Amino acid sequence: MIYLLYGEDDLSRDEMANAIKDKVAQSGLGDVNIVQLDGSEVSFAELTATCSTVPFLAETRVVAVKGLLDKFEPGDFRRRRSEPRDRSLGDWSGLAEFLPDMPPSTDLVFMDGRLSAGNPLLTAVRPLAEVHTFPLPSGRELQRWIQERARKHGIEIEPRAIATLADTIGRNVRVIDSELQKLALYAEGRSISHEDVSELVSYAREANVFAAVDAVIEARPGDAIRMMQKILDDGRPASYLITMVARQVRFLILAKDLKAGGLSQADIGRRLSISGYPLTKTLEQERRFTHERLVGIHKRLLDADISIKTGKSDEQSALEMLIADVALPGRA
């Protein structure tokens, strides 16, 4: 049997691949009858030889190849790759002829990320395989995915908690799955609430900090003071909040420069080393500020840092002055 599993939801993709492998592993001979190959390095000759090997004391042998089809993606499809892609199949042109004659005792599993319709190896393999695609969920679909994932783990979760996970973590399904399992242990059999997510999930706590930082940068002094005070009451030092404001301003300046250079959202996220909610929020904010406004805020941050380090102000006073200088219209 030939399986073609591809898509950006690598969690669901890998789970299906593991389910195929488990059928062989249950025989107790999985170590010798399950072979994992690196698609970026395997040769056509090595793959065909491996697939042609008969199982050892078992009816089925599984050969899983990860990342093979990705090698034949068009060069402009993944902009993170600067090198051009060779769309000619070379030795791999014989794969379509080999697969129908592969021993029926071999289950061959191709595992890849997102693939484009112009991928020549995809075109060759797809008609011969059982195909399963795994796109990343988004919007309401993401919330349904979280609900279904919770049910799979036997977890009850409130709708508002689902929305908070979706909004703060975004489409990082592996992180969502991990957080769901952690929340289930924390809730101890009861339904997971929005408050549980806000208290336990680091992404949600970071979102609260982002909201406070947004209020400062976006000149909403009343909201800024209220949110900052709540975070201080929760035990965060004033210096942490000043650092977070500085971090976000730096991200905004860099994002504006990278966007002007023609980079995509994904590329900007990789350059800034952020994703999910932080990246989305940063790009939304960037559009609302001029470069001059950001430079002015950055100067106020430097002033606050110097004031603390020279002893002219304590951290709390420096934070309050920063809010006044930045959040009050016309001050920065």
Domain boundaries, the chain: 2-133, 140-200, 204-327
Are the folds of 2-133 and 140-200 the same?
no
Q: Which fold has domain 204-327?
A: Zinc Finger, Delta Prime; domain 3 (1.20.272)
The alpha-carbon radius of gyration of the chain (Å, integer) is 26
Which pLDDT value is given to residue 79?
40
Query: What CATH number was assigned to the domain covering residues 140-200?
Result: 1.10.8.60
- Strand-pairing partners, residue 34, are 62
Is the pLDDT at 82 greater than 60, yes or no?
no
Closest CA to 204 of 215, 193, 188, 218: 193
Is the pLDDT at 24 greater than 70, yes or no?
yes
Which pLDDT value is given to residue 60?
87
Which pLDDT value is given to residue 232?
78
CATH architecture for segment(s) 2-133: 3-Layer(aba) Sandwich (3.40)
Which pLDDT value is given to residue 204?
63
What confidence tier does 325 reach under pLDDT thresholds 50, 70, 90? confident
What confidence tier does 83 reach under pLDDT thresholds 50, 70, 90? very low
Over the stretch 266-289, which tens digit does the pLDDT of each residue have? 889 889 888 776 788 788 888 888
Strands of 2-6's sheet, edge to edge? 34-38, 61-66, 106-112, 2-6, 130-133
Average pLDDT over residues 118-125: 92
Confidence (pTM): 0.62
Is the pLDDT at 225 greater than 60, yes or no?
yes
Q: Nearest 10 degrees: CA dihedral of 225, 168, 206, 190? A: 100
Percent of the chain whose pLDDT exceeds 90 = 35
Which pLDDT value is given to residue 288?
81
